[in-house]
Amino acid sequence: MITEYLIANTFEELLIHVEKCMKITKKGKNFPVLFRGHSDKDSLSYPLLPKIHRKEYSDKEKYRELHLAGSFYVKAKALMQNAPRSKDYLFWITRMQHYGLPTRLLDWTKSLLVALFFAVKNERKHGIDGCIWMLNPNALNKKMKHYEGIFPMVSRDCQNYLVPAFHREPKFNLLTPSTKGGKEIENGIDEYFEKKPVIACWAEENDLRMMMQQSAFTIHALPKSLEELIDDEDEILYKIIIPYKKKPTLLQQLEICGISVIDVFPDIETLAKLLDKGFSFT
């Protein structure tokens, strides 16, 4: 359980905390860290858990995830040109995530600035501190008994975590595990995911938003948050609080650095909303 946290009142303090945590968690190794920004620091209300596994969704119906995935595939393919095949689980689950449906994916970013944007963007929420989570994905995968490293989302190891979102009882021939994973899955899918409930991976940057947000994911097979799975002494996960009084200043500083809502959500819908509110780009 993660119980310790740091506090950053300025951008300079944030950088100092991040650099300190990076030295601890990387232990001299050259690998990336991931960040995630929350506008509300409360871990009970906003745990490090994908939407589909949160209580407000998981309590609605037993097979909510399967129902949403199946319905989205059936309806969305008629609205797309050149829709991919049904077994392209990576495409369909990232499309669901993109359009706001609850999935088993939890968003992360390689960019500290993007994470800070999400932590401060609701600066008008009076009295609510934000936070930035910092994750060592290599160490997480090692703790989850995967190979040390961060997997591309197209890898066979990651595909194992996507198939159950689309099939109630996935058969072994639907899974394409690595040699090591294949031997473990033969003992049973439920047992496999109980031992390895999460995997960290790079996103396949197949649209402009994911590219601008420098996306990565953790894929959660079970309703277990990272706070539950990781302890302070693991030196894998860190929490940095952003006081609510500092949010407006930090948001202005981000805009100076070229990080604003149109940069993080670069699409026509965002542009139209900004123009309607009176923003000018000329």
Domain with 102 in it: 6-267
Residue 139 lies in a domain: yes
Nearest to 160 by CA among 229, 98, 219: 219
Q: How many residues does this entry show for the chain?
A: 282
Paired with 107 in beta bridges are 217
pLDDT of residue 64: 86
**Which residues have a Cβ under 8 Å from the Cβ of 159 and sit 6 or more positions away?**
89, 90, 175, 176
Burial of 64 (0-12, 13-18, 19+ CB in 10 A): middle
Establish if 189 belongs to a structural domain: yes
Rounded CA separation 78/151 (Å)? 32
Instruction: State the pLDDT at residue 52.
Output: 92
Is residue 118 within 8 A of residue 252, CB to CB? The reply is: no
- Domain-located, residue 278: no
Spatial CB neighbours of 188, under 8 Å, sequence gap ≥ 6: none
- Establish if 195 belongs to a structural domain: yes
| DSSP class per residue in 224-249 | --HHHH--GGG--EEEEEE-GGGHHH
In a domain, 240, yes or no: yes
In a domain, 281, yes or no: no
pLDDT tens by residue, the chain, 282 residues: 777 789 999 999 999 999 999 988 877 677 889 999 999 998 888 899 999 998 877 666 668 888 999 899 888 888 887 778 778 889 899 989 988 899 999 999 999 999 999 999 976 667 899 999 999 999 999 999 998 889 999 888 898 899 889 887 665 444 544 444 445 555 567 788 888 999 999 998 778 888 999 999 999 999 999 999 998 888 999 999 999 999 999 999 999 999 999 999 998 888 898 898 888 776
Q: How many helices and strands, by DSSP H and E, does the chain display?
A: 14, 8
Residue 244, in any domain of the structure: yes
> Does 220 map to a domain?
yes
Whether this prediction's pTM lies above 0.85 is answered by: yes
The reported pLDDT for the residue numbered 170 is: 64
The helix/strand/coil state of 219 is strand
**Structural domain total, the chain:** 1
